[in-house]
Every structure is written in structure tokens, then in C-alpha cells.
Amino acid sequence: MLAISQRGQAMPASPIRKLVPYAEAAKKKGTKVYHLNIGQPDIETPKMVLDAVRNSDFKVLEYSHSAGNESYRKKLVGYYQSVGIDVNHQQIIITTGGSEAILFGFMACLDAGDEVIIPEPFYANYNGFAVAAGVNVVPVTSHIENGFALPPIEEFEKKITPRTKAIVICNPNNPTGYLYSADEMEQLKNIILRHNLYLFSDEAYREFCYDGHQVSALHLKGVDNHVIIMDTISKRYSACGGRIGAFITRNQSVLDAAMKFAQARLSPPSFAQIAGEAAIDLPADYFDTTKAEYRSRRDLLVKRLNAMEGVFCPNPGGAFYAIAKLPIDDADTFCQWLLESFDYEQQTVMLAPATGFYGTPGLGKQEVRLAYVLNLDDINKAMDCLEAALKVYPGKQ
Amino acid sequence: MLAISQRGQAMPASPIRKLVPYAEAAKKKGTKVYHLNIGQPDIETPKMVLDAVRNSDFKVLEYSHSAGNESYRKKLVGYYQSVGIDVNHQQIIITTGGSEAILFGFMACLDAGDEVIIPEPFYANYNGFAVAAGVNVVPVTSHIENGFALPPIEEFEKKITPRTKAIVICNPNNPTGYLYSADEMEQLKNIILRHNLYLFSDEAYREFCYDGHQVSALHLKGVDNHVIIMDTISKRYSACGGRIGAFITRNQSVLDAAMKFAQARLSPPSFAQIAGEAAIDLPADYFDTTKAEYRSRRDLLVKRLNAMEGVFCPNPGGAFYAIAKLPIDDADTFCQWLLESFDYEQQTVMLAPATGFYGTPGLGKQEVRLAYVLNLDDINKAMDCLEAALKVYPGKQ
């Protein structure tokens, strides 16, 4: 018998995508489904970004430099300066989405059997890249009661072993929307210095902060060799399909190692590098409009959720996700039931059970993640559905 | 001290790219460098392929399905039928270049410590993906004297251990240009059946066959569960920068496992999927023109090489590479010398030392790989340079 690999078996299926067949069945029955389950923004990609690709006039779709086009990397230096991050273009490797930046980081810094500590709930695909790299994810639990703030230092230190090599954060966070404070970032700095760890910081949602500013891991002083940033244009410019991200570090050895992985896959996508480069010239107020839109959505979503009986949703400081606690027996059952057995005026809502975002089995059973990637009107309608559903759900608690 | 990973240290630097600084220095001195060192074709990407992207009119650059757009996969079924390969669209995962297809194959089928047998010389980046996956590459040597034909079965069987899980071939081959015969493909089939191995077949150069047709691994009968094809549009349509490939197998368990890795990285690039889909509608004679051009280049290159004293170059049946044996002491030294210390009428040639394509240390020291990706006139000029260089090279043997 030919067998697949153990890591192929260990690889988790996407917790977000497993409900898709139920959504498709609901749609076939004529039910309108509001998708609050995935982080695909409805915001239009800026026209000038798409036009840059459409108006390109090269004749050969060539490989780019393995680190990405030099012109793009040089312009990115200006973008990072504008957010207070001082790096040069040789400290940037353009990656195929933020995903590849995560993979390069794990591959360059971690060996099979090494451990990374990640505050949970966390972006579920970190599990996938950890399995690919043979790395063990050690969760440290953050709690909905205090809005998913950074767990106390002692909780991290309890988890540190001789195999611990890194802490991974996502800031602002997917799936909680939590924005780490300057004080929390200093705490992280102290841990990584004391225990000589890498800090992988996923900053995909840097611009999406509603009640303050992001403190980047690259703003921290004295930890140049410890910090690796994973970045992406996906959410920033609503350009998820471009598959353009960035791996950034001031640690030369890590850069050199990551570069060898970059060379093996030849180059990042050429078309979308043009889009990414054009996006840097967007007017300074581009994010103002987008951010104002997301802030309104957040405010509406959180208000509607907290007005429902037995529901609690902390106010997320950034990104475009919120996790809410619902008066239900089991989030997986509930989310499937919403699609399979419920409708409100021929409409329903698709949510992501939070269980898939926890590393500790059994956590998140009463929680769901909501991505507020729909307009205000649709969010209202989706909340009408959820409110009606919670009144009749058989597993209500 | 923060250390990079052992795999980061073990990861080989690109053997092709390490001479780049010498080429840049030569150009700064005003020397024209003919690049026969990399497989970046000069052939224009078909206009209708680029126009499909340029004329696209979507408003949001969204994630695609993790397996790639269904419309593209369905059209690919027709393409594969046209080359005698019977697969359905659910047996195809669109990947980010052929590179990602290799990575998915290794990840889904192999565990750390497993062994893959690869006829050497082989595409150097297989080493990189093997290091990423913790897999050990076991080379079995093919020889320039018989044109790099498939080594005898006994040579493979000598290398098989309990950890052997797969054989990797590239057909037609990069770097040798060798096209496996129907008989050789049957021999491979017998080995994988007898020893229950996977056969990973990299078919990036399928259309580039000059003295016959490719026998695809998916043409073989009775090995459906054994065969995985890695494919790419890079060379086929001169679209290397698109980063669109395909992972194809009839083994459902392998597909399911690969799909989980595909979901973790979300989706392949959206722009270039449009290009790939458009390419399937190219007129049937598209490859005729391209193939005729490459055949002329091959014929000229091989003739010029074999006319040089002490040089031997077997006639490659496919792809656009040839390996030649030169009367030199050391290919790495020679290739660097060509850039650093030689010019012929202010021109020189950049070649890839074959040492980087062998897994066995010490092999390939008198061999170089030449990619015939330049027009006939430039190939002639490059050969003039090489001919002149061999007359004066201090390490001539």
C-alpha cells in the first residue's frame, strides 16, 4: 500500500472551508447566505493598482529577482518609513503572499521538533505551516473576558522549554481583532530577549487600527536580530488574489537563509508585483476612507451582537474580525445548523466556529469569528438572521 | 546566540545564481555577456495571453479557489486530453509555479528522513525542496557518454532502501535535455510497481521534443496511484513570471493531502491564472513555430560545440538545455574565469557549471550546462566566445 506522509495526515483541513458544502446546499435551496466567515474584503481594489497591471507593456512575462523586483523593494522602503519602520531594500524579500513569508520564517529559523508559542485563538493556517516545517505549536490562551489581551508573561514562561525558538503574534490580530498595546509589545520584547527567542510578527492588518496605532515589532529597540515581519498587500489594498507579501528582518543570517528558500522557488508573481508597486503611490488618504468604512462596520457589528441576549463581543481594536461568545452548546454544530436547518426570511449567515482557531482542544466551543467584510446594510441583515437564529436554535444554553 | 535552523544552513544556494556578481562586474567593464546560463526564454509571451490579463475587468482582486479557478481547471482537462492524458478537473490543483507542485508532492507523500532517487545530473532546486521537506536525495548517475540515458534498472535497485519512497524524473530533462523513450518509461513503471514507490514526473518541457514525442508518466497503465505530475506554464508559453503550475494525480489520498497544503497558502496567483486559461486557446500551430525555433537553436549549438577541439555534446532530444564536456580542469573555475578574466572582442558567455546539478560530489567537473534561450545569431556569437576561450584558458586539459 502506498501511503501518504505522516505530515500529510497531520495537516489540518481548513476549519473555515469545511462548512462550504453546507453553504452551497443552502444557496441551491434559494437561501441567501451572508458570508461573515472569511476575510475576503468586498472593498474594491484601487483602480490605479489594477490599471498598473492592465497598462503594463512588457513582451516577455519573465522571472523577477528571487527577492522581488528591486524597484518595488526600493519603493517599499518609503512605505515602511511612512509607518515608522526603518529598513533598507536588501532587508526585504518579496514573497508569494504573507503565507510564503510565514513558511520562509519557519524554514529559515526552526527545525523539526522545535516549538513556537502562539497566543490563542490564532490564525489557523499557522498550524499548516508548522506541520509543513515539522514544528510544534504551543498555545498560550488569551481570554474573551478581557478582550483577548496578551496573556501575562508568566503564562508564556510556563510554556518555554529548551526547544522553544520563537513566539508568533499577529497584530492587529486575526481572528480576535486585538491590537497589542505599546506596553504589551515591550513585554514581548523582554521575553524574547530573556529567553533568546525569535519574534515572528504577522502585520497583515497594520493599517486597520480603529482606536490607536499599531506598534510594529520592528519599532522595538535592541531586538534587531530577533524580529521577523510577515507582511502582505492582500488586505491593505484588497488585493488578496495578487499573492504578494514580504519577509522583512534586520538579521542578516536569517535573510541569507530565507533567500536560499526564495531562490529555490525562483521568483514571486510578476503581474502582482506591478500592482504592489503601484499601490505605494496611492494618495495618503486612501486608508482613511477604507478605515472609516471598517470602523463603522465594526461599531455596528459589535453593537448588534452585544444587544442580543446572552451574547458577548469585546470591541476589537483592529483588523476586520471579531470573536463573539454565544449562548450555544457547540459552535461547530451551530454554524452548520445555520446553513443546513435555519433561515430567516430565506436568508442566513455563515460564521466561522472559533474552535478551529484554538490550539487547545475543547476551547472556543461557544465562540464564533465574524469577519466584517460586508457593507452596513448586509451586516444588519446578517445580524437579524443571527438574532432570530439564537431564539430558535435547539442547542441554546 | 540566535541561530538559524539546521535546514537553513543545509539549504543549497542556487548554483546558477552564484556567478551573477561576476557577470555584473563584466557588464560594468563594458563586456557584452551572452546568457546561456539560465532557462529564461527570450521568446515573447503570446500577445493574446498577456492581453487576457490586460483586458480583464474585475473590480476586486480576490482569492481564487485554493485549487485554482474551476473554469481554468476544466479547460486544462481539454489541454491534457490533447496530449493523451486523461484526467478530470478535480485531479488538478493549480500551483504557484511548478516549484510549488514539487513542494506539495514532497510534503504530501514524504516524511523527514525518507529518500527519493533522482537520476543525476538533475534540476538543482529539487535539492532545495528536499531540504525544506527533510527528505534525502539519493542520486543515480546518468552518463554523458550515452547521452544521459536512463541508468540501468540495477543501478536504481542498488540504491533502494526501506526509506526509499519515490523516484523523481524530469522529462524531457533539465539540465541534460534527455527525452526518455517509451521503453525507459516502462522500465520506470516496473521499478515503482515492484518496490511500491511514487513516481514524481516533472513535465515542464512536454512540448519541447525534437525527435519524437514525450511519454508522460500519466500515459503509463496500472500505476494510477503511483504517479504525480508536476507541470508549469512557465516554459510552455514563455510565462515564467506568472508563477502558475499544476499538481496532477489520480491518487485521491495524495490529492486530499496536497489540497490541505494548498488551503494553508490560500490560493495561487489570480492574474496569471487568467493568462494560463487564455493560453489553452492558442492556435494548434503555436508550438510548431516555437519548437522549430528551438530545434534550429539546438542543432546550431550542438554542431558548434562538437566542432570545437576536445568538446563533446550529445544531441538532446528535448527541453532547451544541453550539457557539454569541455577540455577543462574545473567547470566552476572556468565559468568564473569566462566572466572575470576573459573577453573576445569585448564579449563573453555565461554558462552554468554542471557540478551544481550532480548530487554526487566531484561529478560534472568538466561539464557545463547551456540553455539555448538566445536567437541563432547570439548563439553563434556565444559559441565564438567559447571557442576562443577554450584556446587560451589556463586550465585547459
Average pLDDT, chain A: 96
Residues of B in contact with A199 (CB under 8 A): none
User: Helix, strand, or coil here: B371?
Assistant: strand
Q: Closest to B99 (Cβ–Cβ): which among A97, A251, A265?
A: A265
CATH of the domain at B26: 3.90.1150.10
Q: Could you tell me if residue A341 is inside a domain? A: yes
Q: Could you tell me if residue A397 is inside a domain? A: no
Q: In this structure, which amino acid lies at residue B17?
A: R
Local confidence pLDDT in tens for the 397 residues of chain B: 689 999 999 999 887 778 988 999 999 999 999 999 988 888 999 999 999 999 999 999 999 999 999 999 999 999 999 999 999 999 999 999 999 999 999 999 999 999 999 999 999 999 999 999 999 999 999 999 999 999 999 999 999 999 999 999 999 999 999 999 999 999 999 999 999 999 999 999 999 999 899 999 999 999 999 999 999 999 999 999 999 999 999 999 999 999 999 999 999 999 999 999 999 999 989 999 999 999 999 999 999 999 999 999 999 999 999 999 999 999 999 999 999 999 999 999 999 999 999 999 999 999 999 999 999 999 999 999 999 999 999 999 9
Q: What is the mean pLDDT of the segment spanning A307-332?
A: 97
Q: Per DSSP, what are the bridge partners of residue B369? A: B323, B352
How many pairs of residues across A and B have Cβ atoms under 8 Å apart?
A: 247
Same domain, A93 and A181: yes
Q: Closest to A269 (Cβ–Cβ): which among B114, B225, B242?
A: B242
Same domain, A273 and A374: no
Mutation site for B-interface testing, chosen from A226, A235, A260, A267 by largest number of B Cβ within 10 Å = A260
Q: Closest to A64 (Cβ–Cβ): which among B1, B14, B241?
A: B241
The answer to whether the CB atoms of A108 and B251 lie below 8 A apart is no
Closest CA–CA distance from residue A36 to any residue of chain B (Å): 15
Q: Which of A279, A305, A331 is the last residue of a domain?
A: A279
Q: Could you tell me if residue B171 is inside a domain? A: yes
d(CA A323, CA A175): 7
Q: Residue A15: pLDDT above 80?
A: no
Same domain, B36 and B83: no
Same domain, B111 and B224: yes
The answer to whether the CB atoms of B108 and A2 lie below 8 A apart is no
Mutation site for A-interface testing, chosen from B230, B265, B270 by largest number of A Cβ within 10 Å = B265
Q: Could you tell me if residue A257 is inside a domain? A: yes
CB A64, CB A267: distance < 8 Å: yes
Q: Could you tell me if residue B77 is inside a domain? A: yes
Q: What is the mean pLDDT of the segment spanning A324-340?
A: 97
CB A165, CB B1: distance < 8 Å: no
Residues of B in contact with A265 (CB under 8 A): 96-97, 99-100, 103, 125, 128
Q: Using one digit for the tens of pLDDT, what is the confidence trace for A20-42?
A: 889 999 999 999 999 999 888 88
C-alpha cell at A321: 474580525
Closest CA–CA distance from residue B163 to any residue of chain A (Å): 12
Same domain, B271 and B308: no
Same domain, A31 and A65: no
CATH of the domain at A137: 3.40.640.10
Q: B164 lies in which domain range?
A: 47-279
Q: Could you tell me if residue B214 is inside a domain? A: yes
Same domain, A217 and A309: no
Beta-carbon contacts of B167 under 8 Å, excluding residues fewer than 6 positions away, are B116, B117, B118, B156, B188, B191, B192, B197, B198, B199, B200
C-alpha cell at B376: 541563432
Q: Which of B238, B262, B279 is the last residue of a domain?
A: B279
Q: Which of A237, A258, A279 is the last residue of a domain?
A: A279
Same domain, A327 and A257: no
Beta-carbon contacts of A296 under 8 Å, excluding residues fewer than 6 positions away, are A376
Q: Could you tell me if residue B127 is inside a domain? A: yes
Same domain, B53 and B38: no
DSSP string over B68-103: --HHHHHHHHHHHHHTT----GGGEEEESHHHHHHH
Q: What's residue A390's pLDDT?
A: 98
Same domain, A256 and A306: no
Q: Total domain count for chain A?
A: 2
Q: What's residue A391's pLDDT?
A: 97
Query: SS in 3 state form for B199-265?
Result: EEEECCCCCCECCCCCCCHHHCCCCCCCEEEEEECCCCCCCHHHCCEEEEECCHHHHHHHHHHHHHC
Q: Using one digit for the tens of pLDDT, what is the confidence trace for A139-155?
A: 999 999 999 999 999 99
Q: Residue A1: pLDDT above 80?
A: no
Same domain, B180 and B224: yes
The answer to whether the CB atoms of A44 and B66 lie below 8 A apart is no
Same domain, B326 and B354: yes
CB B371, CB B302: distance < 8 Å: no
Tell me the C-alpha to C-alpha distance, in Å, between residue A190 and each of A156, A203, A227: 11, 20, 13
Q: Residue A129: pLDDT above 90?
A: yes
The answer to whether the CB atoms of A5 and B110 lie below 8 A apart is yes
Q: Could you tell me if residue A206 is inside a domain? A: yes
Can you point out the beta strands (E) in chain A?
32-35, 92-95, 115-120, 136-141, 164-170, 198-202, 227-232, 245-249, 321-325, 347-350, 352-353, 367-371
DSSP string over A291-345: HHHHHHHHHHHHHHHHTSTT-B-----BTTEEEEE-SBS-HHHHHHHHHHT--SS
